[in-house]
Amino acid sequence: MNKEIIDFIKYLKIMKNYSDYTCINYQKDLDNYLDFINIKKYDYKNMDYNKCVEYLIYLKDINLKKTSISRKLSSVRSFYKYLVLNNIINSNPFLLVSSPKKEKKIPKFINYDNISKIFEEPNLKTSLGLRERVILEILYGSGVRVSELVNIKIKDIDFNEKNIDIIGKGNKERIVSFGDYAKDAIKEYMNSSRKDLLENIDSEYLIVGKKKEKLTTRRIEQIIDEIIKKASIKMNITPHVFRHTFATHLLDNGCDLLAVKELLGHTSLSSTEIYTHVSNEHLREVYRKCHPRNINNVK
């Protein structure tokens, strides 16, 4: 085994206090790198950019996932950083080699039929049912994050403009809109069940529990989970899935991508563009099922 790699693994264990599991993974990644070095008959202390790119290509050729390639490159990069720190080599040749971009997962969303089922579940004759309806209306109707939902204060709501002032990630402020259904739900909840839940205790927050100022994000997740089970929907639906659904349904119905970006509070358009893939796939599925000239629909 290579002496520098043995010393590097010892360094990770002793000086960096890495776990045995992490060190084993570093060892495997560096063994893989040495395989490449031996195949090419390169001197690992005398690598340049082009040779490093060859290693990247080698990893791709053996059909590794992008996540595995990124991890192996990170291990090798750390190894060379160690060699530089110990004056074994002058510079890290892997610093200029970029890891492959992570594959973007297509976000899950709720179809229109299941959205209807979900909104039928809350028992509007009870205080908790009215609160459930408000939670659903705001999550689906405005696309807020669950962390933003629990922090909505009464003073943040403008019923005339049907807007809510939201403090999002990075303490960034934005305004989200809500519709007439949400407006009616919020007003009914505030005039009746919210007061019952608080039992004469003052609170500035909109979504509250019994004698509590506000619900936790975990409690909102539990409420959503209970609703989904009652609706007999066989899908793992978290509060964040409502945010995905909000964006997807807006795009399905012709909303401009830039407008969706602002409504979601994204800093970059690339974060919003992933919903166009979902929307386009939905449109393709509609076409496949409905168009008479699709072979599956010919009778």
Q: Which of 80, 82, 189, 275 is catalytic?
A: 275
240 catalytic per annotation:
yes
What amino acid is encoded at 186 in this protein?
I
Task: Write out the H or E segment, with its range, that includes residue 200.
Answer: none
284 catalytic per annotation:
no
Buried b (16+ CB within 10 A) or exposed e, 89-124: beebbbeeeebbeeeeeebebbeeebbebbbebbee
Q: Which of 243, 244, 249, 261 is catalytic?
A: 243
Calpha distance 53→100 (Å, rounded):
12
What amino acid is encoded at 112 in this protein?
Y
219 catalytic per annotation:
no
Q: Which of 77, 162, 219, 240 is catalytic?
A: 240
What the block records as the tokens of 61 is 């050729």
266 catalytic per annotation:
yes
Q: Which of 72, 131, 133, 145 is catalytic?
A: 145
- What is the DSSP-derived secondary structure letter of residue 235? S
Nearest to 47 by CA among 76, 21, 71: 76
Q: Which of 169, 211, 229, 289 is catalytic?
A: 169
Q: Decide: 221 and 139 in contact? Cβ < 8 Å.
A: no
277 catalytic per annotation:
no
**What are phi and psi for residue 164, nearest 5 degrees?**
-130, 130
169 catalytic per annotation:
yes
What the block records as the tokens of 292 is 């008479």
Question: Which positions ≥6 away from 19 have C-beta within 8 Å?
Answer: none
Write out the catalytic residue numbers.
Answer: 145, 169, 240, 243, 266, 275
